[in-house]
Amino acid sequence: MSYEVPLERGKFREFALATKAESVAHFTDDPVMPATFLTVARLMWEPKDQNPMAGAGLDRRRVLHGEEEYAFHGPPPRAGQTLTVESRLDEQWEKTGKRGGVMRFVRVLTEFRDETGALVAEQRSTAIETARAPKEA
């Protein structure tokens, strides 16, 4: 299932300021999107019932953020565009942790397409479920 993400100039500027971005390209009248803005856009606009990570059955008490990876297929999107977004479980695997126990890795692939349907960007997000929850302090 897909959903739309409108790209707003003001949100680009707010994000660039919050992340201390220095490129003037983010602050013009026709700003370029900061690369990691895709994460915020996805989290803010993705319908709760469409989050593929929720379908992976992870125990949230034991989940760590593992990695974010971005690939752009041309110039970054610009303010004023509306992207169509679709996410899916991409890969799952397990690994024995250094302190014992099995860690479970779940990767979600999110595709961002422009108004013509062309793939403009991909985001891969990896979550790690540890073998046990951290001890309470």
Question: Any residues with CB less than 8 A from the CB of 4 and at least 6 apart, and which?
Answer: 45, 82, 83, 84, 85
Q: What pTM was estimated for this model as a whole? A: 0.85
Q: What is the pLDDT of residue 82?
A: 95
Percent of the chain whose predicted confidence (pLDDT) is above 90: 50
Looking at residue 85, what is its pLDDT? 95
Is the confidence at residue 102, as pLDDT, over 60? Answer: yes
Cβ atoms of 81 and 90 closer than 8 Å: no
Residue 41, C-beta contacts closer than 8 angstroms, at least 6 positions apart: 5, 7, 83, 85
- The residue with tokens 């890969």 is 91
Extents of the domains making up the chain? 3-129
CATH number of the domain located at residue range(s) 3-129 in this protein: 3.10.129.10
pLDDT at residue 40 above 70?
A: yes
Residue 137: band (very low, low, confident or very high) from pLDDT cuts 50, 70, 90: very low
pLDDT for the residue numbered 47: 87
pLDDT digits (tens, 9 = 90+) for 49-100: 888 888 788 888 889 899 999 999 998 888 899 999 999 999 999 998 777 7
